[in-house]
Homo-oligomer: A and B are copies of this chain.
Amino acid sequence: MQSTFASRARKVQRSELAALFALAEEPAVISFAGGFPDPEWFLPEIIDISEEIMRTNRGVALQYGPTPGFTALREFMAARLTRQGMKCSAADVLITSGSLQGLDLVCKVFLEPGDVVLTEAPTYIGALQTFAGYEVDIVSVPVDAEGMRIDELESLLADVRAGKRAGGRMPKFIYTIPSFQNPSGCTLSLERRRALLSVASRFGVPVVEDHAYAELRYDGEDIPSLKALDEDDIVVHLGTFSKIFSPGLRLGWMVGPRLVMEKAILFKQGTDQCSNSLGQMMALEYGKRGLIEKQIEVTIASLRRKKDETLKALRTCFGDSITYTIPQGGFYTWVTFPEGVDTVALLPRAVKEYRVAYVAGPSFYADRSGGNQARLCFSQPRVDQIEEGIRRLHECLSARLAQ
């Protein structure tokens, strides 16, 4: 039967995501691996909300809904996004089954085998896996403390246009996580946001903005989203309820140019028909009662402590022997170990012997570089586990370096 598989199926390989999810379930392991919210952040008010919905409105909550999402939720989100500086009405908002579905729909709209997608390096594992299903080539631009290097972006696109890179194939879109990037933790500065849009516009390349963590800022000043700065209507904005409410309900949203949205809705019809109705009603009610904002407050306070604890422990244990990023929001710090450390080879031992988990650097690069790097996600461990977790990591690494 395998001989009749599509070539995308022959190419797609088991990824690290499944392993992450498995690791995170081991209770003895202190996990800096999966990007899971801390269940402590889920507010108990959701109990009453779900009960009210089931008691008074279960005929709707358990029934099919419209493909683009319930109108009331789309209106609520449009108002919320408008307050964040985006110009949109309910008709512009598509409710998706998580922001990853949004990305998959964007891929369905734009990508053919052999196309090119431009990403940051490093970038989100899930996005790399989604792209792999479309048999495209990835070109990438490095990230520094201020996010994607726009000078490098510009010279790369100029090289492509001149036929000197990527076989002259202009990327179908630029995929970016501008705020508290997964995995680097870095944030694209306002100046670079404007520069990114200007370069993208000049080269005629749409921008796909993954806004997953943007509302979870614990330090520094807010920066408008790319969509809020998007005067040429070239940005597709992907958001998620996973980090401001619940990942388990699989809900996100997508706002972008009308033509893209029209096609995305058609593809959603043929993919899962509609996002789950009960979850949408819960999200709407949670939002209307101000609980999304309250949960964001709780989350930020918790993340700030966890981030401080993580960075302090890294400093204490590792001193100057490593470098790591200092995030102003979100879940991640990105660690660079000395040359020669192999975070992929080290991981099984870290988990089994030292009972600490992280995600190895190469998972975040299309070219599997970053062998001495790792992502530490501090959202899930308890504050009182973090120091111990980093100590285990240091022990594991010391043992390795001493061999």
Q: Which residue of B lies closest to A56 (CB)?
A: B47
User: A100-B270, A108-B9, A272-B250 are contacts. A1–B62 as well, Cβ < 8 Å?
Assistant: no
CB distance from A66 to the nearest CB of B (A): 5
**A21's contact among B13, B67, B126, by CB below 8 Å, is which?**
B67
Cα A204 to Cα B3 in complex, Å, equals: 11
**Pairwise interchain contact A277-B259, C-beta atoms closer than 8 A:** no
A18: chain B residues at CB < 8 Å are 66-67, 265, 269
**Pairwise interchain contact A277-B248, C-beta atoms closer than 8 A:** yes
A267: chain B residues at CB < 8 Å are 9, 12, 133
A65: chain B residues at CB < 8 Å are 248
Q: Which residue of B lies closest to A173 (CB)?
A: B4
Q: Which residue of B lies closest to A271 (CB)?
A: B104
A400: chain B residues at CB < 8 Å are none
Q: Which residue of B lies closest to A37 (CB)?
A: B63
**A59's contact among B8, B14, B39, by CB below 8 Å, is which?**
B39
Cα A276 to Cα B101 in complex, Å, equals: 13
Cβ contacts A197-230/B at 8 Å (1 or 0 each):
0000000101000000000000000000000000
**Pairwise interchain contact A248-B276, C-beta atoms closer than 8 A:** yes
Q: Which residue of B lies closest to A18 (CB)?
A: B67
Q: Is residue A46 within 8 Å, beta carbon to beta carbon, of the partner chain?
A: yes
15 further A-B contacts with Cβ under 8 Å, apart from A36-B63, A126-B273, are A1-B234, A8-B108, A12-B263, A14-B266, A15-B269, A18-B269, A36-B64, A51-B54, A62-B248, A64-B242, A100-B270, A104-B271, A104-B272, A130-B271, A133-B270
